[in-house]
């Protein structure tokens, strides 16, 4: 008898980011292999990688991968004629404790939502405030899965209310629309069992809305394993790289901004492209139904992020913020 092969923990990013993030971070695939012991088979989860005053769009920036979800067991799992990995849908809702902006020392509690699924071998998911589709169909039973597809993302950092009066005096940033691609590969059956998984992923995004007018890219590595049919844990690490325009728009302070806010003039973040943030995440899930493939699942995760030197030296971080960034999340998922 065949049981579903574990799904990827963080969909590269994740947590992403949290990863999150996002970044729990980040895209998972459900596959099937014959288990060594059908009575003890387990399924890995797929991961869960800023707004108006209370705008929910802030709650999931594309760098945050905070949700953990997995494919559900379905009636056609054992169909010998099935060519592609099985269809599934999963949704989750929960709460996040996240910095007010990247580099802030104040936290904010916000709602979080997540959706992922697969139809005829094509996977799709939300990852933070982005939506992605994997254009490489996944065949039933394959242990190595290549991924490639388009992404559209909304970057809402510093678009909403900021409690610090000096940062608020710099003015709000406008919502940036970014498009790009992701590519990656995952392999199942690595270290602990036939069900653990390691994955590599790279995301590249370009601003098409004329806000920061630059780009962002993030390579991520994830590892996850089921501890039983009911429990899953995963870890993730990523680096976010930014173009010059990104650093200039979000972290530099011009003379006019200095006068308005009282913060010193700074142009170090926008001088050249480079690493802007490093993240480490951990996530876990517990199946209330007793089976990670179906029913309700409790989710939880945490992410630590550290801003790169030129970004950490910005007055909005060094003077009134914090280069160390923490994100915590929890919620409830349902697979069908």
pLDDT in tens, the chain (336 residues): 333 333 333 332 333 333 232 223 333 333 333 333 333 333 333 333 333 343 333 333 434 333 333 444 444 455 666 677 778 888 999 999 999 999 999 999 988 888 888 888 899 998 778 899 999 998 877 789 999 999 999 999 999 999 999 999 999 999 999 999 999 999 999 988 888 999 999 999 999 999 999 999 999 999 999 998 899 999 999 999 999 999 999 999 999 999 999 999 999 999 999 999 999 999 999 999 888 878 899 999 999 999 999 999 999 999 999 999 999 999 999 987
Strands (E), the chain: 3-5, 18-19, 21-23, 31-33, 64-65, 88-99, 107-119, 122-127, 130-134, 144-155, 176-188, 197-207, 215-226, 231-242, 274-287, 295-307, 324-335
pTM of the entire predicted model: 0.78
The alpha carbon dihedral of 287, 192, 330, 177 has a sign of negative
> Which pair of structure tokens corresponds to residue 134?
């994997």
Tokens linked to 7? 């799904």
Could you tell me how many residues make up the chain? 336
**Structure tokens, 191:** 């270290």
Which residues are paired to 71 by β-bridges?
none
């Amino acid at each position: 008898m065949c049981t579903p092969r574990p799904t990827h923990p963080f969909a590269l990013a994740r947590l992403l980011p949290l990863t999150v993030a996002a970044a729990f971070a980040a895209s998972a695939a459900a596959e099937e292999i014959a288990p060594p012991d059908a009575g003890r088979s387990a399924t890995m989860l797929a991961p869960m990688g800023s707004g108006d005053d209370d705008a929910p769009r802030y709650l999931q920036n594309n760098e945050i991968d905070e949700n953990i979800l997995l494919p559900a067991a379905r009636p056609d799992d054992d169909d010998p004629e099935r060519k592609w990995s099985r269809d599934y849908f999963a949704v989750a809702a929960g709460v996040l404790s996240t910095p007010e902006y990247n580099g802030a020392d104040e936290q904010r509690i916000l709602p979080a939502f997540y959706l992922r699924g697969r139809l005829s071998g094509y996977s799709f998911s939300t990852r933070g405030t982005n939506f992605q589709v994997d254009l490489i169909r996944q065949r039933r039973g394959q242990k190595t899965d290549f991924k490639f597809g388009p992404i559209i993302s909304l970057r809402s950092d510093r678009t909403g209310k900021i409690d610090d009066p000096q940062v608020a005096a710099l003015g709000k940033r406008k919502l940036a629309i970014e498009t790009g691609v992701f590519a990656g590969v995952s392999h199942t059956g690595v270290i602990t069992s036939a069900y653990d998984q390691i994955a590599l992923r790279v995301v590249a995004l370009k601003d098409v809305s004329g806000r920061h007018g630059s780009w962002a890219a993030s390579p991520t590595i994830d590892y996850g394993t089921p501890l039983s049919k009911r429990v899953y844990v995963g870890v993730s690490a990523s680096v976010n790289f930014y173009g010059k325009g990104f650093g200039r728009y979000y972290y530099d302070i011009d003379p006019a901004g200095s006068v308005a806010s009282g913060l010193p003039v700074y142009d170090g973040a926008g001088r050249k492209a480079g690493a802007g943030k490093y993240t480490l995440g951990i996530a876990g899930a517990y199946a209330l139904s007793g089976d990670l493939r179906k029913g309700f699942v409790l989710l939880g995760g945490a992410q630590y992020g550290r801003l790169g030197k030129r970004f950490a030296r910005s007055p909005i971080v060094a003077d009134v913020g914090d280069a160390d960034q923490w994100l915590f999340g929890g919620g409830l998922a349902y697979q069908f």
